[in-house]
Copies of this chain bind each other. A is one copy, B any other.
Amino acid sequence: MNSYGNRFRISMFGESHGELIGAVMDGVPAGIPLCAEDFVADLSRRKSGGKGTTPRIESDMPHIVSGVFDGYTTGAPLAVVFRNGNTISKDYSQFRAIPRPGHADFTADVKFRSFNDIRGGGHFSGRLTLILVAAGTVAKKIASDVSFNASIKQIGGSDNPAEWDGIISDAMEEGDSVGGIIECVCNGVPAGLGEPFFNSLESEIAHLAFSIPGVRGIEFGDGFSSAAMKGSQHNDCFTNAAGDTATNGAGGINGGISNGNPVVFRIAVKPTSSISKIQHTFNFESGEMEDFSVKGRHDACIALRCPVIVEAIAAIALAQHIR
């Protein structure tokens, strides 16, 4: 199913080259001031990934079609749509024969018995992250006491921001791509959110994180490095009656429930799958291996666009619990 959430439910729809993409958001409390302009800041951050992001001009202005009246949310389902445009569909006709490595071409073809819309990745397109960002804007308004700050920590294996520009330029010259790591810090999360076991706060955030195309991993607090730590190093001792802790190895979550300290997690984003560099892969029509190059302009590093998407999914997760 293409929906998520019990208290703030998003149902998304649309394809890269269809007429509209959008989301229905249910469970939005009545009385939140909301207009199209409120979405612009986050949408702009997604759009301007800087060097290495595709120059395709997207028509990213949201259109609120229901759920808002006289400038405030009504409590009825909030539908937000985006019009597609500037798409060239003929580029994609060959992808049934040669499914692009790293893409969903093959799996979508199997799952949907070749009825899937292949144009521009169809429903699997990264363009649909626009919807996550829009939902995130609403979720941030619901979780209004929390600040969400995601930033890039690593590009192409380098922790040094000074090197990123060169790394990306080099990859572009080679017709190749690079990945990155994003960290998200959520301040102001009250203690007591989340459930033991199946709806742990980590479970909700991770569930949503893997809805972002290209995510390969997620870790909270000390994350994978905690596996190499001693308990005495990793445990967070409390320092006062407010529940503040001396360290934050748990990333602000104990037993699935927020402890009032910052919720911190990192996600790994794979290098962009679409590369012009030659790949030797199977042609399902000819039955032969062949050299293959993905045509067109593509982001060399999709991680650059991801911080605001990561903030969005954190906000969506918290909006399930905060009221």
- With A and B bound together, what is the CA distance between A66 and B220 in angstroms? 30
Say how far A92's CB is from chain B's closest CB, in angstroms. 11
Contacts of A225 on B, CB cut-off 8 Å?
A: 268
Query: Closest residue to A280 on the B side, CB-wise?
Result: B237
Contacts of A9 on B, CB cut-off 8 Å?
A: 1, 3, 11
Mark the stretch among A42-50, A53-61, A138-146, A190-198 that contacts chain B: A190-198
Query: Closest residue to A223 on the B side, CB-wise?
Result: B217
Contact call B216/A223, Cβ cutoff below 8 A: yes
Q: How many monomers of this protein are in the complex?
A: 4
Contact call A303/B227, Cβ cutoff below 8 A: yes
Contacts of A68-94 to chain B: CB distance below 8 A: 69, 72-79, 81
Contact call A1/B104, Cβ cutoff below 8 A: no
Contact call A2/B243, Cβ cutoff below 8 A: no
Contact call A275/B235, Cβ cutoff below 8 A: yes
Contact call B77/A12, Cβ cutoff below 8 A: yes
Say how far A277's CB is from chain B's closest CB, in angstroms. 5
- With A and B bound together, what is the CA distance between A107 and B176 in angstroms? 46
- With A and B bound together, what is the CA distance between A254 and B230 in angstroms? 36
Contact call A2/B76, Cβ cutoff below 8 A: yes
Say how far A186's CB is from chain B's closest CB, in angstroms. 16
Contact call B206/A79, Cβ cutoff below 8 A: no
Say how far A121's CB is from chain B's closest CB, in angstroms. 8
Which of the residues B3, B101, B174, B229 comes within 8 Å of A271, measured between beta carbons?
B229
Contact call B224/A181, Cβ cutoff below 8 A: yes
Q: How large is the interface on A (under 10, 10 to 19, 20 to 34, 35 or more residues)?
A: 35 or more
Contact call B282/A237, Cβ cutoff below 8 A: yes
Given known A-B contacts A1-B195, A107-B191, A282-B240, A227 and B270 have beta carbons under 8 A apart: yes
- With A and B bound together, what is the CA distance between A249 and B110 in angstroms? 20
Say how far A304's CB is from chain B's closest CB, in angstroms. 12
Contacts of A176 on B, CB cut-off 8 Å?
A: 230-232
A133 proximal to B (CB < 8 A): no
Contacts beyond the supplied A206-B210, A213-B255, A226-B271: 18 A-B pairs with Cβ under 8 Å:
A2-B24, A3-B198, A74-B122, A74-B123, A76-B112, A76-B116, A99-B238, A101-B235, A101-B237, A104-B256, A107-B192, A156-B228, A206-B207, A217-B223, A217-B224, A224-B268, A238-B281, A249-B270
Closest A-B pairs by Cβ, 5 of them: A104-B255, A217-B219, A157-B228, A177-B231, A76-B123
Interface positions of A (Cβ within 8 A of B): 1-4, 6, 9-15, 18-22, 24, 26-27, 30-31, 65-67, 69, 72-79, 81, 99, 101-104, 106-108, 110-113, 115-117, 119, 122-124, 128, 154, 156-157, 171, 174, 176-181, 191-200, 202-204, 206-211, 213, 215-241, 243, 245, 249-251, 253-260, 268-275, 277, 279-282, 284, 287, 289, 303
